[in-house]
Amino acid sequence: MSRPDPSASTPPLPRWATSVTTFALVTGALIFVAWAKMETVQITYTIDDLIDQEAALAEEQRRLRTELAELRSPRHLETLAATLELVPPEPGQVIVVEDAAANVTAPEPEAAE
């Protein structure tokens, strides 16, 4: 007994079904390509915005560091001290305290018996 030929038992698709299937696949591919392009453009705009934001933050950081250096400068502190009517300390008013933590030694470990 021979096996029946499977291709002989299935009728071929009508021509219109093949055309509709091809049209659907091509349309789906084109929609995907258009969507991918739109996503690429949107991501590019987001990256550009983030680059601009990074530049603005770097400029603000530079400005704040300059302002901090100016506020810490001795000239500014002298002006501020004069405004607050502060005077230099008299001899003997300043007591220098050594760093106690530097002179602390760790206790010796006890011997295990």
Helices (H) and strands (E) in the chain, counts: 3, 0
Question: Do the domain assignments include residue 56?
Answer: yes
Question: Do the domain assignments include residue 24?
Answer: yes
Tracing tokens 């000239």 back to the chain, one arrives at: 75
- The residue range of the domain holding 71 is 15-85
Walk along the chain (113 residues) in steps of 10 and give the mean pLDDT of each run. Answer: 62 85 96 98 98 98 97 93 91 83 67 57
Question: Do the domain assignments include residue 92?
Answer: no
Report the pLDDT value the prediction gives residue 40, as an integer from 0 to 100. Answer: 98
Question: Do the domain assignments include residue 43?
Answer: yes
CB 70 within 8 A of CB 76: yes
What's the structural domain count of the chain? 1
> Over the range 21-31, which residues count as b (16 or more CB within 10 Å of their CB) and which as e?
eeeeeeeeeee
Report the pLDDT value the prediction gives residue 112, as an integer from 0 to 100. Answer: 58
Whole-Å CA distances, 105 to 71, 98, 100: 39, 15, 10
Question: Do the domain assignments include residue 65?
Answer: yes
Non-local CB neighbours of 11 within 8 Å, separated by 6+ positions: none
Question: Do the domain assignments include residue 103?
Answer: no
